[in-house]
Amino acid sequence: MAGKTPIIVRVRNFLHRHYVETIRLYYIHVWGMNIGKGVRLSMTAKLDRTNPSDLTIGDYTFLTFRSVVLTHDFVNRQHKPVKIGSYCFIGCGALIMPGVTIGDHCIIGANTLVREDVPSHCVVVGNPGKIIRRDVVTVAWGMIPRPGEKMPDGSDPPVPS
């Protein structure tokens, strides 16, 4: 029996995958958000529903627990679009402010406050968020690829330019 995954773990993983997909479809069809395929949203991630059509999340991005994405500035009475690219990882407790664009293949660290645009292939941490690394390559859900690992479509990970 060594190496075989217990049935309860397989059932739990199956249910979790379908629950996550149901949440994604709920945000798309009920709230009108633009959320790409393969996106993982933690059950405690908060997506601003004040201005839902101005939120875009690219394919295979992961928003972890307690991350928050805002599309409105209540004090200044403004609605601003937010775009998070594909193959990104948004760490726990991260706060993405209104009007921010995060490029593809980015990693946003835990408890990071993102107030300014982030170019593709960067790691951002801190409060306020600062770029600490460039030319990062990620695969699905913002993970650093293992040697030989492919993108979800079977292609090689991109080389930052």
Evaluate if pTM is beyond 0.85.
yes
Q: Measured between alpha carbons, how far is 124 from 113 in angstroms, rounded to an integer?
A: 9
Residue for token pair 């309860």: 8
Instruction: Say how many C-beta atoms besides its own lie within 10 A of residue 68's C-beta.
Output: 16
- Out of 16-20, 48-52, 84-88, least confident range: 16-20
b/e per residue, 112-145, with b = 16+ CB within 10 A? bebeeebebbbbbbeeebeeeeeebebbbbbeee
How is domain 7-142 classified at the CATH fold level? UDP N-Acetylglucosamine Acyltransferase; domain 1 (2.160.10)
- Secondary element (H or E) of residue 90: strand 89-90
Q: pLDDT per residue over 81-135, tens digit each?
A: 999 999 999 999 999 999 999 999 999 999 999 999 999 999 999 999 999 999 9
